[in-house]
C-alpha cells in the first residue's frame, strides 16, 4: 500500500515539541491530513469517533511514554478493536531495550523509530510500513 | 574509552565513605551513558557537536542555567557480585540563549524568545537522554524505572538534590554555547 498524501494521520505525543517535529517531518514527506493528540487517553476517543464517522484514521504515529495512556496500551486497544485493528501503527520511543522491542512487536506494532532520529530515518520506517 | 569522556575520571569524590573505590567506579559507569546520550541528541536532532568539559562536584543548590529539566532516577543494579538499589536524578540546565538556539534548531524554526511553543523542548531532550542512557545501562546491570520529566525556570532558580546524594555537573559546549548536565547518584544494599 503506497503512501497516499491525503491519508488521515494522527500524531500522539505528550510533548508539543515532538508533535511539532514529527508533524513537520510528515509534511516534508508529503502527508497533508494530520491531526494531533497530547496523550493516548486523548487520542483513543478521537480514533473511535473517526471510525464511527466512517472516516477512520489510516495511520497512527504514537509516542510510548505518556502520562495517562501509554502508546503500548493504545496499541493493544486498537489491535483488539474490530474495524480499526489493522490500522498501521508507528511507535516512537526513547526506550530501545530489547525487552521493549519484544513487547511492541508482540502487541502488533507495524514499525518503531527510536529517538533521537533524523527525517530520513522516519521516512525509511514509514516506507517499510507502506512499501 | 571514548576520548571525550576522559575528564570524568578526574572527579574527586568526598572522603570518608566506605569502599569509595567501588562506589566511584559505579558512579562513573552510571554517568557516562548520559553524557553520550545527550551528545547523540544534539548531534542528531540539532546538528551540532558537543564537547564535554571537565566535570566537578556540585555543592550549591543554584542552577547553572535559566531553564532546567529534571527526571528522577530509581532502579536496581545487579552485577560484579553485588545487588543494590539506586536513586538519583538527571538535570539538564541551559542559559536562556543556549536554550532558545537549541529549540530553534530542533524545531526547525527561528525563535528569538522563550514562549509556550518551546517550553517543553528541554523536557523532551531530557526524556530522550534518559531513554538512551537507560538502554546502555540496562546492558550493564542497571535497571532504571522510566519517569516523566518536569521543568523549572527563572534566573537563579534552585534545585536541591536529595539529602546525602553526590551530584556531578559537567559543562557541555556546543555550537549554541554551554549548558550543563548534572547527575546525582547513590546506591545502597537491597
State the DSSP code for A54.
T
Dihedral in degrees, nearest 10, Cα atoms B134, B24, B149, B174: -90
Q: Could you read off the pLDDT of A48-103 as tens digits, one per residue?
A: 999 999 999 999 999 998 999 999 999 999 999 999 999 999 999 998 788 888 99
Does residue A68 belong to the interface with chain B, where contact is any CB pair within 8 Å? no
B162 to chain A, closest Cα gap in Å: 24
Does residue B150 belong to the interface with chain A, where contact is any CB pair within 8 Å? no
Question: Do residues B59 and B12 lie in contact, with contact meaning Cβ atoms separated by under 8 Å?
Answer: no
Distance CA A64, CA A113 (A): 11
Distance CA B180, CA B49 (A): 15
Question: Do residues A69 and A83 lie in contact, with contact meaning Cβ atoms separated by under 8 Å?
Answer: no
Buried b (16+ CB within 10 A) or exposed e, B49-86: ebebeebeebeeeebbbbbbbbbbbebebeeeeeebeb
Which pTM value belongs to this model? Answer: 0.89
Distance CA B60, CA B65 (A): 13
Question: Do residues B55 and B8 lie in contact, with contact meaning Cβ atoms separated by under 8 Å?
Answer: yes
Give rounded-to-5 percent helix, strand, coil for chain B. 35, 30, 30
Q: Which residue of A has its CA nearest to B136?
A: A97
Q: Which of A21, A67, A96 sits opposite B148 (nearest CB)?
A: A67
Check CB contact under 8 Å for A116 and B107.
Answer: no
Structural domain span for residue B68: 3-189
Does pLDDT of B124 surpass 90?
A: yes
Cα radius of gyration rounded to whole Å, chain B: 16
Q: Could you read off the pLDDT of B91-113 as tens digits, one per residue?
A: 999 999 999 999 999 999 999 99
- For B42, other C-beta atoms within 10 Å of its C-beta total 24
Q: Which of A20, A94, A97 sits opposite B128 (nearest CB)?
A: A94
Report which of B11, B59, B1, B80 is spatially closest to residue B33, judged by C-alpha positions.
B1
Q: Could you read off the pLDDT of B130-150 as tens digits, one per residue?
A: 999 999 999 989 999 888 899
Number of domains chain A contains: 1
Does residue A17 belong to the interface with chain B, where contact is any CB pair within 8 Å? yes
Does residue B45 belong to the interface with chain A, where contact is any CB pair within 8 Å? yes
Q: Mutation test of the interface with chain A: which of B105, B124, B126, choosing the one with the most A Cβ atoms within 10 A?
A: B124
Q: What is the mean pLDDT of residues B51-63?
A: 85
Phi-psi region for residue A30, left (φ > 0), alpha (ψ -120 to 50) or beta?
A: left
Q: Which of A17, A67, A96 sits opposite B135 (nearest CB)?
A: A96
Q: Which residues of B touch A65 (CB under 8 A)?
A: 127, 131, 146, 148
Question: Do residues B26 and B188 lie in contact, with contact meaning Cβ atoms separated by under 8 Å?
Answer: no
Does residue A115 belong to the interface with chain B, where contact is any CB pair within 8 Å? yes
3 state DSSP class of B134: helix
Residue B10: exposure state from Cβ atoms within 10 A (0-12, 13-18, ≥19): exposed
A117 to chain B, closest Cα gap in Å: 6
Q: What CATH number should be reported for the domain holding residue A18?
A: 3.40.50.2300
Q: Could you read off the pLDDT of B69-98 as tens digits, one per residue?
A: 999 999 999 887 888 899 999 999 999 999
Q: What CATH number should be reported for the domain holding residue B182?
A: 3.40.1550.10
Look-up of cell digits 567506579:
B25
Structural domain span for residue A67: 9-129
Bridging pattern class, strands B166-174 and B56-57: antiparallel
Distance CA B94, CA B182 (A): 11
End-to-end CA distance of chain A: 6
B42 to chain A, closest Cα gap in Å: 9
Instruction: Tell me if A58 is assigned to some domain.
Output: yes
Does pLDDT of B6 surpass 50?
A: no
Instruction: Tell me if A4 is assigned to some domain.
Output: no
Q: Which residue of A has its CA nearest to B147?
A: A65
Check CB contact under 8 Å for A116 and B123.
Answer: no
Q: How far is CA B99 from the centre of its chain?
A: 15
Distance CA B103, CA B129 (A): 15
Question: Do residues A63 and A36 lie in contact, with contact meaning Cβ atoms separated by under 8 Å?
Answer: no
Question: Do residues B60 and B180 lie in contact, with contact meaning Cβ atoms separated by under 8 Å?
Answer: no
Number of domains chain B contains: 1
Q: Could you read off the pLDDT of B160-189 as tens digits, one per residue?
A: 777 778 888 999 999 999 999 999 988 888
Provide the number of CB pairs (under 8 Å) joining chain A to chain B.
61
The angle formed by the CA atoms of residues B156, B158 and B159, to the nearest 5 degrees, is 145
Distance CA B173, CA B52 (A): 6
Does residue A118 belong to the interface with chain B, where contact is any CB pair within 8 Å? yes
Does residue B105 belong to the interface with chain A, where contact is any CB pair within 8 Å? no
Amino acid at each position: 500500500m503506497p503512501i497516499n498524501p491525503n491519508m488521515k494521520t494522527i500524531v500522539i505525543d505528550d510533548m508539543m515539541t515532538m508533535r511539532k517535529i514529527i508533524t513537520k517531518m510528515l509534511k516534508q514527506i508529503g502527508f497533508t491530513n494530520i491531526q494531533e493528540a497530547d496523550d493516548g487517553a486523548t487520542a483513543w476517543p478521537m480514533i473511535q469517533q473517526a471510525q464511527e464517522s466512517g472516516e477512520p484514521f489510516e495511520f497512527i504515529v504514537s509516542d510510548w511514554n505518556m502520562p495517562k495512556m501509554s502508546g503500548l496500551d493504545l496499541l493493544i486497544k486498537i489491535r483488539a478493536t474490530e474495524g480499526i485493528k489493522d490500522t498501521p501503527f508507528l511507535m516512537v520511543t526513547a526506550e530501545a531495550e530489547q525487552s521493549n522491542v519484544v513487547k511492541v512487536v508482540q502487541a502488533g506494532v507495524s514499525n518503531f523509530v527510536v529517538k533521537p532520529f533524523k527525517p530520513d530515518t522516519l521516512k525509511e520506517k514509514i516506507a517499510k510500513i507502506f512499501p | 574509552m571514548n576520548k571525550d569522556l576522559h575528564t570524568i575520571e578526574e572527579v574527586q569524590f568526598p572522603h570518608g565513605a566506605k569502599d569509595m573505590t567501588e562506589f566511584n567506579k559505579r558512579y562513573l559507569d552510571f554517568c557516562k551513558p548520559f553524557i553520550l546520550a545527550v551528545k547523540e541528541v544534539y548531534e542528531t536532532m540539532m546538528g551540532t557537536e558537543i564537547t564535554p568539559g571537565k566535570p566537578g562536584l556540585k555543592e550549591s543548590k543554584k542552577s547553572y542555567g535559566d531553564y532546567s529539566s529534571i527526571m528522577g532516577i530509581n532502579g536496581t543494579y545487579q552485577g560484579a557480585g553485588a545487588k543494590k538499589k539506586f536513586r538519583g536524578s538527571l538535570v539538564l540546565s541551559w542559559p536562556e540563549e543556549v536554550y532558545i538556539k537549541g529549540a530553534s534548531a530542533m524545531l526547525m524554526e527561528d525563535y528569538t524568545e522563550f514562549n509556550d511553543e518551546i517550553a517543553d523542548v528541554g523536557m523532551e531532550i531530557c526524556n530522550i537522554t534518559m531513554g538512551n542512557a537507560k538502554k546502555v545501562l540496562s546492558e550493564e546491570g542497571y535497571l532504571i524505572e522510566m519517569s516523566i520529566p518536569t521543568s523549572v525556570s527563572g534566573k537563579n532558580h534552585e534545585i536541591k538534590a536529595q539529602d546525602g546524594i553526590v551530584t556531578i555537573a559537567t559543562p557541555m559546549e556546543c555550537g549554541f554555547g554551554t549548558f550543563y548536565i548534572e547527575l546525582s547518584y547513590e546506591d545502597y544494599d537491597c
